[in-house]
C-alpha cells in the first residue's frame, strides 16, 4: 500500500490502520504519523523505530498482533535515554499522543508529588479485545466516598468506603501507587460495581500514595521504612479510625509492577497482617544484577515455611522485553513465581492477558483480582 493511501486510511479510521482478523486470530496494525522529524518511533512496551516513506513526511510501521489485544502507545522523535517528560496531548513535540486517535488516557500528575507531571497516551483497542466494563460507571450504582489523610512522616493516603456502609469489621484492600490507582485506574468505580453486582462483599480500599523520585527505593522488598510504615502505622490507624477487619485473611495488598512485587514481599513477611495479594505484572525480577541475584523473592518463597496467604497474579503475554542484562523477561519471572508459590502449596489464581505492561489492562484485570481474593465470606 502506498504511504499516501495508508495515511488517508489512518485519517478516515481515526488512528492505526487495522486489517481484518485472519484465520489465526491476528490482525496487521499499521501505525502512521505525518510530520518532519529526524526519527520517529512508536512506544509501548518498548520503542519501535518507524520508517519514513521516501519523498514524503509520512512515517509508518506495521505489526502483526492478536486481535484480542488492548494497549497504550505514543509517538516519539527522540532517543529513549533523552526522555525527560511524559508524552503530551498536542500531537507534536518530542513525545506525544497519536493526533488521529481520539481514544486517549491521562496519567494525571499527583498534586502531592512535585516531581510528577501530567502525561497522555493513546489507546489501541483491537476488534476482539475484551470489553472494559467494571471500571466504567454504571447507571444506578451508588458511588462510594474517598477521604484523604496525611499520616505521620508525610505519608499520604486516601480511603474509600462503600456508599451507605457504616459497619465496622469490613475487609480491606491496601493499594500501592494509590494516586494513579484511584484516578486513572478508577479502582473506586470498579469496587462500586463489583459490590453492587454481588461479586465481592462491601470492603474498604486504602490507597497509599508515593513519589516518582523514591518509588524504586520505597517499593523494594528491602525497604524497612515502607515495612515499618505499613505494619506499625498504617494498619493500626486503619483499624482504629476506619474499623477495618482485624483478621489477616480479610486484608489484601495490591500493586502494579514494582507495587506487585512490594505487595507479595510484604504479605509473605507479615502474614499475620495481610492474607492476600493482588499483583499486576509484578516485578519479580528484582533486584538488578548489580545489586544481587535476580528473582530474590521467588527463592524466598521456596526457602520459607508456607504462610496463610492467597495470591492473584497476572501478566501481559507480550511482556517479553529484556530491560536489564542478566534479568529474565516479565512473563518468565511471573511464571516462575507462580510455580514456586504452587509448589509450596499456596492458593494461586494466575492469568495472562493479551497485552503489554500498562495501566489500560490493569484497570480491567483489577476486578479479576478482587473476585479471586475476596470471593469468600469475611471472618467476623
DSSP three-state, residue 259: helix
Binning pLDDT at 50, 70 and 90, where does residue 2 land? Answer: confident
pLDDT at 264 over 50: yes
The overall average pLDDT reported for the chain is 93
Binning pLDDT at 50, 70 and 90, where does residue 378 land? Answer: very low
Q: CA-to-CA distance for 128 and 26, rounded, in angstroms?
A: 10
Question: What is the per-residue pLDDT across 34-43, written as a single tens digit (0 to 9) for each?
Answer: 999 999 999 9
Binning pLDDT at 50, 70 and 90, where does residue 201 land? Answer: very high
Least confident of 3-7, 213-217, 276-280, 283-287: 213-217
Q: Helix 258-269 vs helix 296-303: angle between axes, to the nearest 10 degrees?
A: 20
The CB-side HSE value for 55 (13 A sphere, CA atoms) comes to 3
Question: What is the per-residue pLDDT across 232-243, written as a single tens digit (0 to 9) for each?
Answer: 999 999 999 999
Find out whether 129 and 139 touch, Cβ atoms under 8 Å. Answer: no
In the block, cell 520517529 appears at 40
Please report the pLDDT score of residue 212 as a whole number. Answer: 73
DSSP string, 157-195: EEEEE-TT---SSB-EEEESSHHHHHTTT-HHHHHHHHH
Q: Which three cell numbers stand for residue 86?
A: 511524559
* Dihedral of alpha carbons 208, 211, 122, 335, sign: negative
Q: Which three cell numbers stand for residue 170?
A: 469490613
DSSP three-state, residue 219: helix
Cβ neighbors of 204 (< 8 A, separation 6 or more) are 159, 160, 161, 162, 170, 171, 172, 173, 238, 242, 244
Q: Over range 305-310, report the average pLDDT.
A: 97
pLDDT at 204 over 80: yes
Least confident of 80-94, 208-222, 365-379: 80-94
Please give the torsion angle defined by the CA atoms of residues 190, 193, 197 and 202, in that order, rounded to the nearest 10 degrees: 80
DSSP three-state, residue 115: coil
| Residue 325 CB neighbours (<10 A) | 8
Please report the pLDDT score of residue 379 as a whole number. Answer: 41
Q: Which three cell numbers stand for residue 192?
A: 462500586
Q: Over range 46-68, report the average pLDDT.
A: 95
Binning pLDDT at 50, 70 and 90, where does residue 111 land? Answer: confident
CATH architecture designation of domain 145-374: 3-Layer(aba) Sandwich (3.40)
Answer whether the bond into residue 177 is a cis peptide, omega within 30°.
Answer: no
Fold of 16-125: Immunoglobulin-like (2.60.40)
Please enumerate, as own/partner, the contacts of 55-58 that have beta carbons within 8 Å and a separation of 24 or more.
56/3, 56/4, 58/3, 58/4, 58/6, 58/7, 58/32, 58/33, 58/34
Please give the torsion angle defined by the CA atoms of residues 365, 370, 376 and 380, in that order, rounded to the nearest 10 degrees: 180
Please report the pLDDT score of residue 323 as a whole number. Answer: 78
Domain boundaries, the chain: 16-125, 145-374
Please report the pLDDT score of residue 1 as a whole number. Answer: 67
Binning pLDDT at 50, 70 and 90, where does residue 380 land? Answer: very low
Binning pLDDT at 50, 70 and 90, where does residue 73 land? Answer: very high
pLDDT at 118 over 90: no
Q: Over range 320-334, report the average pLDDT.
A: 92
| Residue 42 CB neighbours (<10 A) | 25
Share above pLDDT 70 across residues of the chain, in percent, rounded to a whole number:
96
Please report the pLDDT score of residue 45 as a whole number. Answer: 73
Amino acid at each position: 500500500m502506498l504511504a499516501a493511501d495508508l495515511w488517508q486510511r489512518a485519517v478516515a479510521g481515526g488512528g492505526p490502520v487495522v486489517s481484518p482478523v485472519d484465520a489465526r486470530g491476528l490482525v496487521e496494525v499499521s501505525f502512521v504519523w505525518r510530520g518532519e522529524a529526524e526519527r520517529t518511533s512508536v512506544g509501548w512496551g518498548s520503542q519501535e523505530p518507524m520508517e519514513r516513506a521516501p519523498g514524503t513526511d509520512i512515517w509508518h510501521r506495521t505489526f502483526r498482533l492478536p486481535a484480542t489485544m488492548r494497549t497504550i502507545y505514543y509517538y516519539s522523535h527522540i532517543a529513549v535515554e533523552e526522555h525527560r517528560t511524559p508524552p503530551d496531548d498536542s500531537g507534536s513535540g518530542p513525545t506525544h499522543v497519536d493526533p488521529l486517535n481520539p481514544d486517549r488516557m491521562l496519567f494525571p500528575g499527583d498534586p502531592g508529588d512535585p516531581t510528577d507531571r501530567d502525561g497522555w497516551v493513546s489507546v489501541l483497542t483491537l476488534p476482539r479485545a475484551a470489553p472494559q466494563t467494571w471500571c466504567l460507571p454504571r447507571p444506578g450504582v451508588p458511588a462510594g466516598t474517598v477521604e484523604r489523610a496525611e499520616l505521620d512522616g508525610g505519608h499520604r493516603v486516601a480511603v474509600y468506603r462503600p456508599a451507605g456502609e457504616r459497619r465496622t469489621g469490613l475487609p480491606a484492600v491496601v493499594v500501592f501507587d494509590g494516586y494513579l490507582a484511584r484516578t486513572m485506574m478508577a479502582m473506586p468505580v470498579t469496587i462500586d460495581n463489583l459490590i453492587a453486582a454481588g461479586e465481592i462483599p462491601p470492603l474498604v480500599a486504602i490507597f497509599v500514595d508515593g513519589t516518582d523520585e523514591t518509588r524504586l527505593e520505597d517499593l523494594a522488598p528491602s525497604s524497612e521504612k515502607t515495612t515499618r510504615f505499613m505494619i506499625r502505622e498504617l494498619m493500626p490507624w486503619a483499624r482504629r479510625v476506619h474499623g477495618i477487619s482485624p483478621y489477616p485473611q480479610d486484608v489484601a495488598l495490591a500493586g502494579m509492577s514494582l507495587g506487585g512485587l512490594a505487595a507479595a514481599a510484604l504479605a509473605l513477611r507479615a502474614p499475620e497482617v495481610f492474607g492476600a495479594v493482588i499483583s499486576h505484572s509484578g516485578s519479580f525480577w528484582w533486584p538488578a544484577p548489580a545489586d544481587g541475584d535476580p528473582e530474590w523473592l521467588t527463592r524466598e518463597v521456596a526457602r520459607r515455611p508456607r504462610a496463610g496467604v492467597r495470591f492473584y497474579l497476572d501478566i501481559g503475554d507480550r511482556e517479553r522485553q529484556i530491560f536489564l542484562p542478566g534479568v529474565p523477561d516479565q512473563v518468565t519471572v511471573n511464571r516462575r513465581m507462580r510455580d514456586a508459590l504452587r509448589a509450596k502449596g499456596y492458593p494461586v489464581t494466575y492469568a495472562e492477558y493479551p497485552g503489554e505492561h500498562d495501566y489500560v489492562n490493569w484497570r480491567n484485570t483489577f476486578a479479576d483480582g478482587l473476585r479471586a481474593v475476596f470471593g469468600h465470606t469475611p471472618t467476623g
